[in-house]
Structure 1
């Protein structure tokens, strides 16, 4: 059971997918511009800002897990 859960979490962590994280208004404004480099930069910035909270929550979860595991032993 623990091995299956660990492998599932590991797979989800390392699974990389392309994300389009622009809102409809941002997309409309940036697509009307001639250069697409600005649109790509905005999209990467949004994805970066979206990833930080998940990393923080994951780090806190790992710390709690390790704390409970050491108390058991």
Structure 2
């Protein structure tokens, strides 16, 4: 099972790097069209905050469970 997960992770890494190149190309081309660049940056920041929010919620749940057991 672990081997399958590792293979899936490595097989999709090429697709992920291709998308980063596309974001870079769009960002460089839109430097002249100021609005598109701002929208792209706002979208990246929005997508970046979601994993941190989910990790914070998970850490809070774990902390509360350990806190209840200690009482």
What TM-score bracket applies, with the shorter chain setting the length? Answer: 0.5 to 0.7
TM-score in terms of structure 1 length: 0.59
Select 1:36's aligned residue among 24, 34, 37: 34
- Alignment coverage as a number of residue pairs: 49
| 2:61 is aligned with 1:63 | yes
Shift of 1:71: 0.8
Query: Comparing both chains, which one has the higher relative contact order based on Cα–Cα distances under 8 Å and sequence gaps of 6 or more?
Result: 1
Runs of 4+ in structure 1 over 4 Å off = none
- Tell me the C-alpha RMSD between the 2 structures: 1.4
Deviations 1:25-71 (A, max 9, x none): 3431221x4x3111101100001001100110011001000010011
Q: Is there any run of 5+ residues in structure 2 with no aligned partner, and where? A: 1-22
Q: Is there any run of 5+ residues in structure 1 with no aligned partner, and where? A: 1-22
TM-score in terms of structure 2 length: 0.61
